[in-house]
Amino acid sequence: MNSQIKALFGRVFRNTGYLLSGRGAMAVLALGSTALAVRTLGLEEYGILLLMSSFVLSCAVATRFQAWQPLLQYGTSLYKAAEKKPFHTLLRHCIALDAAGAVLGLAVALFSSVWLGHLSGWAVAYGHIPLWYMSVILFMNTGCAMGVLRLANRYELAVLADTASSVVKFAGCIAGFFLSWTLRDFLVLWYGATVVAFVLDYGLAFWVMARTDKLRGFRLLNVPWLSQIRGIWRFTFSTSLDQALGRLGSRLTVLVVGAVLGPESAAIYNVTWQISDGMARPAQMLTPALYPELVALRDKRDWTSIRQVTNRILQALALFSAVVLVVATVVGPWLLHVLLTVPWTGTRTLLLLMTVTAILDLWDVPLEPLLVSLNKAHQILIGRVVTMCFSLPLLYVLATAWGMTGAGVATLLSELAIFLTRLIPYLVMNRNRMFEGKPGA
């Protein structure tokens, strides 16, 4: 590797280390919170809590604009060149995207809660989701704040909010365990943890802006709020819809499993995925650290370095994937038994299926940010839409026929299709040595 590539990897792995430190703490706290909540509420009521929170989060992610991506895609060169006026307009544009997505998400939740409550089975025994809890959607969008922290290379601050939220949730679960909290009490706790993360994310972003010369003079009043950069809306809708469908798909999967197999099975399925995904999470943290570097290389039109970086990361992921599979086979069933007090019998097959799914998702780490940075976001979106058209019906059919194993098989096939929609365009570009794509001026 030349000195430029070595420096790039140094920055990527340093920033990934910051993200990993926060995610590692979050994973441990999340597992502890799950164990305490299950023992306080029981597996069935915890399943209801999971379904309610999954519904609210699904409405949020389905309407969320990924505001950090246009900020990095179009703002990196403006930020480095200290072009304050167009950059500040872009920043306000991204703040407006966060706010619009939150309001739209709340509206979707209010209109769909009654129907989905009956479908999932919680409305009969527990009533509809309280209106006050659905308003937590207003505090779930912090994409612009994340973009500011990543643009300023302050990755050590980008993990503080989520870590603090996990600490609040874990401390509340400890209190709830000893005080015998009800389902409503846990909903209040989940709400408070989300608000803590929101306040910290935007608070840190504005603190960074106040300390950075390039961002001084930023205002919210009597200034334009929408950027006129060519192609920004197409890019924003493509990336946001792809991310929304991806996250919405994972949440809807839990809801479908709950509707077909019941709340207990939904809880087992969700925690199994958390374990599998958690084992692959360290490598997945490369994505937010890698994306700004790929944008910078794209702006320089350094296609050789882009190709070298992508190939080396894919080689490293091959070794990491083998380690993840071995660890999941040995440790996974025991961990699932400890968390949910379910027997090992019947969980090992599901765990292995979900682990292979997480590994396929892991191989997207260099491919998706590369394609997005080269303005191929619309191609990624088309692949996502086509996949979802068959994945959810397939999940329903296989879960009905084969239970939890069928749900695992359907999830694996869906992720394989997503991976191929990323891999094939990259292989074509790599073979033809035709890396192109630059954002509009």
Q: Is the pLDDT of residue 184 over 80?
A: yes
Tell me how far apart the alpha carbons of residues 14 and 336 are, in angstroms, rounded to a whole number: 32
pLDDT, one tens digit per residue, over 335-367 is: 766 666 655 455 678 888 888 888 888 787 778
**Range 205-235 burial, b when 16+ CB lie within 10 A, else e:** beebbeeeebbeebeeeeeeeebebeebeeb
Token digits of residue 156: 């050590």
pLDDT band (50, 70, 90) for residue 190: very high
CA dihedral 166, 95, 230, 224 (to 10 degrees): -170
pLDDT band (50, 70, 90) for residue 293: confident
Mean pLDDT for all residues in the chain: 81
Structural domain that includes position 284: 3-432
pLDDT, one tens digit per residue, over 204-227 is: 988 888 887 777 777 888 888 888
pLDDT for the residue numbered 435: 58
pLDDT, one tens digit per residue, over 86-124 is: 888 999 999 999 999 999 999 988 888 766 655 555 554
Cβ atoms of 275 and 335 within 8 Å: the answer is yes
pLDDT for the residue numbered 169: 92
Span 251-277, average pLDDT? 80
pLDDT for the residue numbered 415: 87
Range ranked top by mean pLDDT from 242-256, 269-283, 327-341, 387-401: 387-401
Residue 98 is classified by DSSP as H
- Residue 365 within any structural domain of the chain: yes
Span 69-90, average pLDDT? 85
Q: Is the pLDDT of residue 201 over 80?
A: yes
pTM of this structure: 0.70
pLDDT for the residue numbered 340: 61
Residue owning tokens 């246009």: 70
pLDDT for the residue numbered 351: 81
Close Cβ partners of 96 (under 8 Å, ≥ 6 residues apart): 225, 226
Token digits of residue 400: 């009905």
- Residue 185 within any structural domain of the chain: yes
pLDDT for the residue numbered 103: 94
pLDDT, one tens digit per residue, over 116-133 is: 655 555 554 455 566 788
Q: Is the pLDDT of residue 137 over 90?
A: yes
pLDDT for the residue numbered 218: 78
- Residue 125 within any structural domain of the chain: yes
- Residue 437 within any structural domain of the chain: no
Rg (Cα) of the chain, in Å, rounded? 22
- Residue 405 within any structural domain of the chain: yes
Instruction: Tell me how far CA of residue 328 lies from CA of 127, 306, 362, in angstroms.
Output: 38, 32, 15
Span 72-99, average pLDDT? 87
Span 197-208, average pLDDT? 91
- Residue 440 within any structural domain of the chain: no
Q: Domain count for the chain, please give it.
A: 1
pLDDT band (50, 70, 90) for residue 300: confident
Token digits of residue 440: 């509009």
* Surface-to-core class of residue 326, CB atoms within 10 Å of its CB (0-12 exposed, 13-18 middle, 19+ buried): exposed
- Residue 438 within any structural domain of the chain: no
- Residue 215 within any structural domain of the chain: yes
pLDDT band (50, 70, 90) for residue 439: very low
Tell me how far apart the alpha carbons of residues 68 and 17 are, in angstroms, rounded to a whole number: 20
Higher pLDDT: 244 or 130? It is 244
Close Cβ partners of 40 (under 8 Å, ≥ 6 residues apart): 173, 176, 177, 180, 181, 186
How many other C-beta atoms can be found within 10 angstroms of the C-beta atom of residue 246?
A: 18
pLDDT for the residue numbered 200: 93
Tell me how far apart the alpha carbons of residues 91 and 75 are, in angstroms, rounded to a whole number: 8
